[in-house]
Structure 1
Amino acid sequence: MHFTLEVLPNTRKTFNRIIENTSLEHLNKIPKGFNNNIIWNIGHVVVTQQLLAYKLSGLPLAISDELVGKYRKDTKPEGDVTQEGVNEIKDLLFSTIEKAKEDYSNSLFKSYQEYTVSTTGNTLTNIDEAFQFIMFHEGMHLGYVMALLRTLKS
């Protein structure tokens, strides 16, 4: 598990660099052929990590219900995200992962409600599997973000 919890901050650093080097307009733009935008994908990975790790472990989330409502599975951008909203997501990129690492090393994740993920059909049965899937999920969305960036630059 140590490796997974070391990879996630690095993935988040990549998302952070993308936020810092992409205009607000491009973070919000949904190119033809896509259903969402860069900032939705980044907000989605933050929300999904919280739901898969904390909610299914019966622990309180470190994010608002409003954020969950905007970025959870089966949502899509409902309008442009303001710079303030982007800054909130950017801050949560690191605070949520650092808290998860701390909580994991302090053995706070004691129980886990099984959950079958729609992406692969696998059933998560414990926190270790959840973090392994979170790493896969964030890599998948990083790929989407990179495709969006290429489309926006062409």
Structure 2
Amino acid sequence: MQALFKAWKASRKLYLDLFDTYSLDQLNKIPAGFNNNMIWNIGHIIATQHKLIYKGSNLHGHISDELFNKYQSGTKPTEPVSQQEADELKTLLTSQIEQTINDYQNGIFVTYNERTTGIGFHLTSVQDAFECNNFHEGLHLGYAMSIRKFV
């Protein structure tokens, strides 16, 4: 699991770098031909990690229902993200990892609801969910990297 956590932290650092490189207006911009923006992709990976790991384990997790509902699969941006929400997402990029690793090390993930995800991963355990999460975050990092070329 240590290698998986290391990869996850490296991925999240690349997402964090978007906040340092682009203005809030740029993060919110939806370029022609796209249906979302860089900041939606950031919110989406946070919501998906929550769903894959915590909800899949029948646990509440550490993000609000409001944030989860705004960025879960099937959503898209409906209004620009405020600076306050952008700051929350930026904080969650790192705090979510540390909390989840602590929860994992403390053994709170006891059961898991077996299912196949929308991207075709068959999940039978929280370990599967962590692996799927890293793959999913890589996909959305690619989307964000494409969007950045047009803002």
TM-score range, shorter chain: over 0.9
The structural deviation recorded for 1:115 is 2.2
Cα distance in structure 1, aligned partners of 2:131 and 2:61: 19
Cα distance in structure 2, aligned partners of 1:115 and 1:39: 28
Cα distance in structure 2, aligned partners of 1:136 and 1:56: 17
Runs of 4+ in 1 over 6 A off after TM superposition: none
Other-structure match for 1:136: 135
Other-structure match for 1:147: 146
Cα distance in structure 2, aligned partners of 1:74 and 1:64: 18
Cα distance in structure 2, aligned partners of 1:118 and 1:55: 15
Normalised to the residue count of structure 1, the TM-score between the two structures is 0.95
Other-structure match for 1:102: 102
Cα distance in structure 2, aligned partners of 1:124 and 1:146: 28
1:87 aligns with 2:97: no
Normalised to the residue count of structure 2, the TM-score between the two structures is 0.97
1:54 aligns with 2:46: no
Q: How many residues align?
A: 151
The structural deviation recorded for 1:82 is 0.5
1:13 aligns with 2:13: yes
SS in 1 for 2:111: coil
SS in 2 for 1:54: helix
Cα distance in structure 2, aligned partners of 1:118 and 1:80: 27
Cα distance in structure 2, aligned partners of 1:90 and 1:44: 13
Cα distance in structure 2, aligned partners of 1:88 and 1:130: 24
- After superposition, the CA RMSD in angstroms is 0.8
1:67 aligns with 2:67: yes
Cα distance in structure 2, aligned partners of 1:20 and 1:44: 19
What percent of counterpart residues are identical? 45
Other-structure match for 1:124: 123
Give ranges in structure 2 of 5+ residues lacking alignment.
none
